[in-house]
Amino acid sequence: MGYSRFDRPMAQRRALLRGLVTSLLENERIETTLAKAKAAQSISEKMITLAKEDNLAARRRALAYLTKEDVVKKLFETLGPRYAHRSGGYTRILAIQPRRGDGAPMAILELIQPEK
């Protein structure tokens, strides 16, 4: 019970998180609910750490999880080298105004820009 189930079956929950992580890595910024942002943050951090290895097995693991091949290419060619000298903390969550319709807490999940 240590994680959020989002009131969905396992397959739907997995598909939701795969979509969120793929969108984050593609656009480098997504707006979603706070709970979904926290769940997607954990997985996206692991994906970027995986991209720092840049070998065939790592590419295949990323391709098995992410839904777009061009995002996998971006992950290994752009994001992996960008965070090569950073040992973690590639993303941040910024709280924003609650959603207007139901008052759900909203957040922006974004990749941080490394120091130059």
Tokens of 7: 């009131």
The pLDDT of residue 38 = 96
42-67 pLDDT tens trace: 999 999 999 999 999 999 999 999 99
Instruction: Give me the architecture of the 11-111 domain, per CATH.
Output: Alpha-Beta Complex (3.90)
Give the mean pLDDT of the chain. Answer: 95
- Domain residue extents for the chain: 11-111
Q: Is 9 helix (H, G, I), strand (E, B) or coil?
A: coil
| Mean pLDDT, residues 58-86 | 97
Whether the predicted pLDDT of 116 surpasses 70? no
Going by C-alpha positions, the residue among 42, 35, 37 that lies closest to residue 7 is: 35
